[in-house]
Amino acid sequence: MLRNALGKTFRFLGYTVQYGCIAHCAFEYLGGIVVCSGPSMEPTIQNSDIVFSETLSRHFYCIRKGDIVIVKSPNDPKSNICKRVIGLEGDKVCTSNPSDFLKSHSYVPKGHVWLEGDNLRNSTDSRCYGPVPYGLIRGRICFKIWPLNDFGFLRASPNGHRFLDD
């Protein structure tokens, strides 16, 4: 009887460890569900929207301009932020705020990306903390899950004019 109970306990623990490893690999290498908070990505992503973030793009260096990414915050490594990629390494980016009369530009250094929120007037982003190391990217947002009436792929940036081509 004791042997039977121990056998069932160890079998249960074995399955728990196996499924735990599978879940870890799925979330680390495939993606996961993220609840977004804050106004910086409005109108594309509203406060409390639920999105799916895939991580394969970051592993294979497939992040492109216009992608919305989840990134470890350069100011607070315990939290993640959601921003749009405006520039990749070597790109010329506008580093000034939309309300600035004189516009300033800079180039994104090697191994970094330039991130901005879609709500430029209410976003703490690369205009404040500078280029972000590529290694801080946790995943790329593919589509919105919730609310259901907005389910699907994310729309283009309302600030497309900030993407510079030279």
| Active site (catalytic) residues | 40, 83
DSSP summary character for residue 110: T
Q: In 10 A of CB 94, how many CB atoms?
A: 21
How many other CB atoms sit within 10 Å of the CB of residue 144? 21
Measured CA to CA, the distance from residue 95 to residue 9 in angstroms comes to 59
Residues in the chain: 166
11 burial via Cβ count (<10 Å: 0-12, 13-18, 19+): exposed
114, β-bridge pairs: 87
Of 128, 23, 132, the closest CA to residue 69 belongs to: 132
111: its two tokens: 């191994």
